[in-house]
Amino acid sequence: MKLHEYQSKSIFAKYGIPIPKGRVATTATEARQIAEELGGRVVVKSQVLVGGRGKAGGIRLAKSPKEAEELATQILGMEIKGLPVRKVLIDEAANIEQEIYLGITNDRAARRPVIMASAAGGVEIEEVARTSPEKIIKVHIDPLLGLRDFQSRDIAAGIDLPRDNWKEFARISLGLWRAYSENDATLAEINPLVITKDKHLVAVDGKMLIDDNALFRHADLAEMRDLDEEAGAETEARKYGLSFIKLDGQIGCMVNGAGLAMTTMDIVKLFNGEPANFLDIGGGANADKVAAALRIILSDNNVKVILINIFGGITRCDEVAKGILVALEEVKPKIPMVVRLVGTNSEEGIQLLAKAKMITANTLADAAQKSVLAAQGS
Amino acid sequence: MSILVNKNTRLIVQGITGNEGLFHTQQMLAYGTTVVAGVTPGKGGEWVLNDKVPVFDSVRMAVQATEANATVIFVPARFAPDAMYEAADAGIPLIVCITEGIPVQDMMRVREYLDQKQVRLLGPNCPGLLTPGESKVGIIPGDIALPGNIGVVSRSGTLTYEVLYALKLVGLGATTCVGIGGDPINGTNFIDCLDMFEADPQTEKIVMIGEIGGTDEEKAAQFIASRLTKPVVSFIAGQTAPPGKRMGHAGAIIEGGSGTAADKIKALQDAGVQVAKHPEEIPSLLR
């Protein structure tokens, strides 16, 4: 789950990381009021969950409350990479001497968290990684020990941070580590971490990604999810524990298991069809889940055929068949359905579905070909 | 011969009294697996499945009473890390964790602790493993695989079944089939399994099923090129998956911008591996 900049920074502040004074506005009038309260120059920052806000003109400096109001009017009317801007953050402008990058993420290959820093902050860090990887310092963190102060000092030295700022930097690094580990983040990033003209450090921008699997122990974070920012079907799918990604094709796919779901998409494409979605009903799917999955697939008007591919293991084919029958009662789809059930209780499942008019298939290739054919026929 | 599990495997089931635990214990017993005990805290002293399997309050008690040498975990995600720590602490050398949805930071700590204890972990979020005709640990349906001379290792669950079934339809069977799981942080990886299959005299050929994300397949390709004498056939899932539905910038840096199906297929082909276009093509490539 992605958090907005203002949400991420408010979490950082709880862990003692200095952030600029500021507040979120949803109207231009409000933006002006906040700018008046703050006094002086402010930055008007669009709050959308995509990168490249600055380049798109979604982050602008205002010299007066009046200008803040004008810029907020512009930015609140914008779309950035297809997402409408609904909120702006009005932050006190920092007097910037230098910009640093500081981030923590999971290094999958090393199986440890890694803290990264670069003296070349303020630009997209993957750009730095591509053009001058030597400018990025990486230090792995023992997951049982956590970040230690000596590691922070190593990083500070590695990016040539002035010695006077080392203590402050260690405090911020430790705060970032705690924000990361205590909130089950998969990314906690300050970019830029600014050295101000009066030689202090301030986290001017922040970003956090939270591990969806850990939300059960972070009710406060789960509430921060911005439902405006994701497709409705994906929200609906999550409610039922389904993993769903919408695509642009005509063949709606319902599969159990992520690997098999991807493979089903691949093979549809191999036989010149276009999948309409990725949908994994997960392990142990029951009738309710299956019915929800069918409703979600059918809510997409591009779908001309539904391909159901279930290989029973933990999921039992008869349970899936029951779910299909419940859903058919409810939604009465007018499009052809191709079904393939193999594995645990598949015989029972196939018998249950015998009454429903469906195209059956034995092999994966057979199922894909029949689906492509049915999509072309309609 | 086989790898990791065989007739001598003495298995305990953590979470045996839950729905999934009980159903799959029954399936494992029916297959012939020696399930010696179950563990559910608070239910010690009970017996399940027509008094066939005793339940203990802790892994330590179960091990003391039964000399178990492997465990399979079916407990919910929020309790699974503790279940793994407990098994490692009780001295069990092989832990198979079926549970999906364990937070990744928990898994980093678990893996670190298990490595220190020199315990082998399979999973989490995996289907377990199957040595056809001998032992089944986990949830792979037993009747879809024949005994044979092919070692199978896979990151996926149901896709593995697909491959076993395709092999069976043409009369091919497996020495052992290992599902290593699809989570970013897991225990046993491709290289561990390839190494064990190379050393197993009965395994003649190897099937490796990968998918997009991470760089484990690329590393396996290097290992195959430098160390393996047995032929390997592979399939990579996710060739048409949309990009960008993964972690943010910093994650991409760590993974070196890699992780696509095309990169993995190329690395494998360069290592002399035949890569199937779809899973049902695998049997013909093994001939």
* Cβ separation A217–B237 shorter than 8 A: no
Name residue A217's amino acid: R
* Cβ separation A105–B254 shorter than 8 A: yes
Task: Classify B44 as helix, strand or coil.
Answer: coil
* Cβ separation B162–A364 shorter than 8 A: yes
> Taking a contact as any Cβ pair under 8 Å apart, which residues of chain A between 101 and 120 contact chain B?
103, 105-109, 111-114, 116
CA–CA distance, B141 with B283 (Å, rounded to integer): 19
Query: Domains in chain A and their CATH numbers?
Result: 21-92 (3.30.1490.20), 96-222 (3.30.470.20), 231-375 (3.40.50.261)
Predicted local distance difference test score (pLDDT) of residue B246: 40
* Cβ separation B159–A112 shorter than 8 A: no
In terms of C-beta density within 10 A (0-12 exposed, 13-18 middle, 19 or more buried), how is residue A366 classed? middle
- Of the options 3.40.50.300, 3.30.470.20, 3.40.50.720, 3.40.50.2300, the CATH number for the domain spanning B10-122: 3.40.50.720
Low-confidence ranges of chain A (pLDDT < 70): 229-231, 284, 314, 378
Least confident interval from B78-87, B109-118, B135-144, B258-267: B258-267
In terms of C-beta density within 10 A (0-12 exposed, 13-18 middle, 19 or more buried), how is residue A197 classed? exposed
User: Which residue, among B108, B144, B282, would best test binding to A if mutated, counting the most A CBs under 10 Å from its CB?
Assistant: B108
Q: Phi, psi (5° rounding) for residue A116?
A: -125, 145
Q: How far is A168 from chain B (nearest CA, A)?
A: 23
Average pLDDT value for residue range B266-283? 96
Residue B248 has pLDDT above 60, yes or no: no
Does the fold of domain B140-286 match that of domain B10-122? yes
Residue B143 has pLDDT above 60, yes or no: yes
Q: Write down the domain spans for chain B.
A: 10-122, 140-286
Q: Which of B112, B127, B280 sits opposite A363 (nearest CB)?
A: B280
Measure CA A350 to chain center: 38
Q: Which of A116, A284, A311 sits opposite B250 (nearest CB)?
A: A116
CA–CA distance, A72 with A60 (Å, rounded to integer): 9
In terms of C-beta density within 10 A (0-12 exposed, 13-18 middle, 19 or more buried), how is residue B163 classed? buried
Residue with tokens 């678990």: B110
Average pLDDT value for residue range B49-58? 96
A101 is catalytic: yes
Beta carbons of A128 and A101 less than 8 angstroms apart: yes
Q: What percent of chain B has pLDDT over 70?
A: 94
List the beta strands (DSSP E) in A47-145. 59-62, 79-80, 83-84, 88-92, 96-107, 112-118, 136-140
- How confident is residue B258, by pLDDT bands cut at 50, 70 and 90? low
- B140-286: CATH number: 3.40.50.261
Give Cα separations from A268 to A39, A226, A255 (angstroms).
Answer: 59, 33, 13
Contacts of A297 by beta carbon, 8 Å cutoff, 6+ apart: A252, A253, A254, A276, A277, A279, A303, A306
User: Which residue, among B253, B255, B265, would best test binding to A if mutated, counting the most A CBs under 10 Å from its CB?
Assistant: B253
Least confident interval from B79-83, B98-102, B190-194: B98-102
- Chain A CA closest to residue B23: A314
Predicted local distance difference test score (pLDDT) of residue B245: 53
Residue with tokens 């339809």: B169
In terms of C-beta density within 10 A (0-12 exposed, 13-18 middle, 19 or more buried), how is residue A142 classed? middle
Measure CA A174 to chain center: 25
* Cβ separation B77–A136 shorter than 8 A: no
Predicted local distance difference test score (pLDDT) of residue B1: 63
Name residue B99's amino acid: T
Q: How far is A260 from chain B (nearest CA, A)?
A: 5
Name residue A12's amino acid: F
Average pLDDT of chain B to the nearest whole number: 91
CA–CA distance, A248 with A316 (Å, rounded to integer): 30
Residue B243 has pLDDT above 70, yes or no: no
Residue B250 has pLDDT above 60, yes or no: no
Predicted local distance difference test score (pLDDT) of residue A82: 82
Count A/B contacts: CB-CB distance under 8 Å: 192
* Cβ separation A259–B24 shorter than 8 A: no
B100 CB neighbours in chain A (<8 A) are: 282-283
- How confident is residue B249, by pLDDT bands cut at 50, 70 and 90? very low
Least confident interval from B3-17, B181-195, B237-251: B237-251
Q: Which of A107, A270, A363 sits opposite B277 (nearest CB)?
A: A270
Q: Which two tokens stand for residue B287?
A: 């001939």
Contacts of B89 by beta carbon, 8 Å cutoff, 6+ apart: B59, B60, B117
Write out pLDDT tens, residues B102-140. 999 999 999 999 999 999 999 999 999 999 999 999 999
Predicted local distance difference test score (pLDDT) of residue A15: 98
CA–CA distance, B40 with B21 (Å, rounded to integer): 10
* Cβ separation A106–B184 shorter than 8 A: yes
ipTM comes to: 0.87
Beta carbons of A25 and A62 less than 8 angstroms apart: no
First vs last Cα of chain A: how many Å apart? 38
CA–CA distance, A308 with A315 (Å, rounded to integer): 14
B105 CB neighbours in chain A (<8 A) are: 106, 113, 143, 181, 184, 211, 214
Could you list the active site residues of B?
249
Find the angle CA(A172)-CA(A175)-CA(A180) to the nearest 5 degrees: 125
Write out pLDDT tens, residues A257-314. 888 999 999 999 999 999 999 999 877 677 788 888 998 999 889 999 999 999 987 6
Beta carbons of A204 and A192 less than 8 angstroms apart: yes
Contacts of A255 by beta carbon, 8 Å cutoff, 6+ apart: A261, A264, A279, A280, A281, A308, A309, A310, B158
Residue with tokens 């922040």: A206
pTM for the predicted model, two decimal places: 0.90
Instruction: Report the sign of the C-alpha dihedral through residues A297, A298, A303, A305, in that order.
Output: positive
